[in-house]
Amino acid sequence: MGTFCSVIKFENLQELKRLCHWGPIIALGVIAICSTMAMIDSVLWYWPLHTTGGSVNFIMLINWTVMILYNYFNAMFVGPGFVPLGWKPENSQDTMYLQYCKVCQAYKAPRSHHCRKCNRCVMKMDHHCPWINNCCGYQNHASFTLFLLLAPLGCIHAAFIFVMTMYTQLYNRLSFGWNTVKIDMSAARRDPVPIVPFGLAAFAATLFALGLALGTTIAVGMLFFIQMKIILRNKTSIESWIEEKAKDRIQYYQLDEVFVFPYDMGSRWRNFKQVFTWSGVPEGDGLEWPIREGCHQYSLTIEQLKQKADKRVRSVRYKVIEDYSGACCPLNKGIKTFFTSPCTEEPRIQLQKGEFILATRGLRYWLYGDKILDDSFIEGVSRIRGWFPRNCVEKCPCDAETDQAPEGEKKNG
């Protein structure tokens, strides 16, 4: 009893508020619908008590559900890990390489960024995910990625059960006429009568669950591949954008230097082990990181400071070459743009040809930035901020790239 009470603390109970958000409600709703319908349909298609195959099938379904929920709640409630309030490096001279967060009253540790949703500096922040209503970062990156893997696998299994159930239930109910096909949805034709009757309502529910399972498989499966791609390079989405701006800065000034990402261990397996461990606890403490040979512990933060000092690379000016309606997943901007829409609560912004945008960060097919309403680049003018497709804009000439992004703006999606 004492152990139980030590686990359930006031702080843990406060975390339950994360469930009161549209993201977890939808995610858990999809899991509940697909799991429940798959178990019900398993009874109809492959009765688990009569055969070994049926028992294995049913146990696998329960196993998928348990593992999916375990990793989902781990990602949500364990959280990414936050930089301690008031944190500063042990060596006071190292503060010259770090940015200071006025909200947390602390220095930003290497690879950490301030999240406006969590209102804290997050260790190794990748993005703020609305589906878990929390950030994905140092402590929960492995659980989040495992959830992205297990959810499609479970949905593929469930989808197979849905298809087989509808096939077996409809097979004996079809009657073909000369010009007609009739389906008898009553259970009277089954001998013996099934424990769970498969009527019209059950058919509609199974069809709906099949659509959810297939949609989840595609959407979440693509997110899994995106996450694995950056994990095998030991990067985050934010760090990929920093690296892109570093290369742009070097090219623009024609500097005799090469930016080497300091946390890439040189092999995919070593990068993989930085996130996934047998103990479930990622390597390091979230404040200091192993670096590749020839790099500095603060190589990335030094590059960030250079970009902060260089107004030109802190934000890149783009001109809109194609109208964009502001749709979350635009079908007319290409299949890759449609399926890689940022998973975030941040808004999309409408674009009209000829307008100008200041991009502060981005993904491969999407950018995030500010639209200047009056076509001026004076500090403090009114702006509209949000995501927009990369293929709707083109980069302006370098000599026109001015202005700067607001201090402290970091990726939250």
pLDDT reading at 153 higher than 80? yes
User: Is the four-CA dihedral 285, 96, 305, 370 of positive or negative sign?
Assistant: positive
Residue 187 has a pLDDT of 47
Residue 6 has a pLDDT of 39
Strand, helix or coil for residue 47:
coil
Mean predicted lDDT score pLDDT of the chain:
83
Residues 395, 384 contacting (CB under 8 angstroms): no
Q: What angle do CA 336, 118, 382 make, to 5 degrees?
A: 70
DSSP assignment of 51-108: -HHHHHHHHHHHHHHHHHHHHHHIIIII-S-BPPTT---SSGGGGGGS-EETTTTEEP
Q: How far is CA 298 from CA 249, 290, 295, 302, in A?
A: 18, 11, 8, 6
Residue 247 has a pLDDT of 86
Residue 13 has a pLDDT of 61
Strand, helix or coil for residue 33:
helix
**10 against 148, higher pLDDT:** 148
* pLDDT tens by residue, 228-253: 999 999 999 889 888 888 888 888 78
**126 against 407, higher pLDDT:** 126
Q: Is the bond into 192 cis (omega within 30 degrees of 0)?
A: yes
Residues 158, 36 contacting (CB under 8 angstroms): no
Strands 356-362 and 366-372, bridge-based pairing: antiparallel
pLDDT reading at 395 higher than 80? yes
**411 against 151, higher pLDDT:** 151
How many angstroms separate the CA atoms of 24 and 32, rounded? Answer: 12
* Section 271-291 average pLDDT: 90
CATH of domain 315-375+382-395: 2.30.30.40
* Section 304-333 average pLDDT: 82
Locus of tokens 């769970």:
196
**324 against 339, higher pLDDT:** 324
Query: Rounded to the nearest 5°, which phi and psi values hold at 117?
Result: -75, -50
Residue 287 has a pLDDT of 92
- Model confidence at 110, pLDDT cuts 50, 70, 90, reads very high
Residue 186 has a pLDDT of 55
Clarify whether 155 is annotated catalytic: no
- From the candidates 129, 135, 136, 155, give the one annotated as an active-site residue: 129
**4 against 59, higher pLDDT:** 59
pLDDT reading at 376 higher than 70? no
Total-model pTM:
0.80
Domain boundaries, the chain: 13-80+139-177+194-232, 237-264+272-310, 315-375+382-395
* pLDDT tens by residue, 154-207: 999 999 999 988 888 777 666 555 566 555 555 444 455 555 567 778 889 999
* Section 278-304 average pLDDT: 87
Name 93's Cβ contacts closer than 8 Å, sequence gap at least 6: none
Strand, helix or coil for residue 144:
helix
- Model confidence at 338, pLDDT cuts 50, 70, 90, reads confident
* pLDDT tens by residue, 60-84: 999 999 999 999 999 999 999 999 9
* Section 95-110 average pLDDT: 93
pLDDT reading at 279 higher than 90? no
